[in-house]
Amino acid sequence: MGMSVGPSEGEDESAISEINVVPLTDVMLVLLIIFLIAVPVVIQTVDVNLPSVRLLPTTTKPENVALSIRAGDDGSCEVFWGMTPVNSNEMLTQAIQHIEDTVEEFGGAENMTEDDLPEVHIRGDVNTPWRCIGGPIFVMQQAGFTRVGFISEPEPGQGITRL
């Protein structure tokens, strides 16, 4: 292996365009050996059936019910039907009345499909405990609502990725 320190006698001065690839080859061979040893360890998998999730825009129909839920200062749960605060009994009464009114608009349950039934859209505060969210879900299911969904908003500046 030789090394060029400068032009020999009688040659023009020019840039040396030879690159020593031996260190690069050594590093690549070491990395190849590391990957050959590490990959079988990392590839151990467990079969899991994950749900397929798609980004679907929320279609808001006028007959849908919007509930907003947050935790009160004293640890209680505050539930709002639209903009009106309600307790569990009022919520159950209003929900039953809402279902009955919707069925009456369609001329009876026999004229309705599952898509015609109103939905419940719950908007829960980030700091709300689960017990505050679970109670209204149970009450709305008792009233006859079969579709309950959660409304969420991405953090500002984050894009929505489609799966």
Distance, C-alpha 154 to centroid of its chain: 9
Handedness of CA 133, 134, 137, 143 (dihedral sign): negative
Tell me the mean pLDDT in the region 133-152.
87
Residues in the chain: 163
Mean pLDDT of the region 116-137: 84
Q: To the nearest whole percent, how much of the chain has pLDDT over 90?
A: 16
Residues 97-112: pLDDT tens digits? 998 888 888 888 788 8
Q: What is the pLDDT of residues 57-96, one digit of tens each?
A: 566 777 788 888 888 888 888 888 888 889 989 999 999 9
Tens digits of per-residue pLDDT, 2-18?
555 666 666 667 677 78
Count the neighbouring beta carbons within 10 Å of the beta carbon of residue 92.
17
- CATH code: domain of residue 123: 3.30.420.270
Question: What pLDDT is attached to residue 11?
Answer: 65
Residue 143 lies in a domain: yes
pLDDT score of 161 more than 80: no
In a domain, 105, yes or no: yes
Element (H, E) at 143: helix 130-143
Kind of pairing between the strands at 65-71 and 120-124: parallel
- Report if residue 48 sits inside a domain: no
Alpha helix positions (H), 59-121 = 88-105
Rounded (10°) CA dihedral 39, 44, 50, 54: 0
Structural domain includes residue 94: yes
State how far the Cα of 152 lies from the Cα of 100, in Å rounded to an integer. Answer: 28
List, in order, residues 6 or more apart from 93 with CB less than 8 Å away: none
Whether 18 is in a domain gets the answer no
Residue 158 pLDDT grade (very low, low, confident, very high; cuts 50, 70, 90): low
Give the total number of structural domains in the chain. Answer: 1
Burial profile 79-90: b = 16 or more Cβ within 10 angstroms, e = fewer? bebeeeebeeee
Q: Which two tokens mark 104?
A: 């009456």
Q: Which residue range(s) make up the domain with 140?
A: 65-150
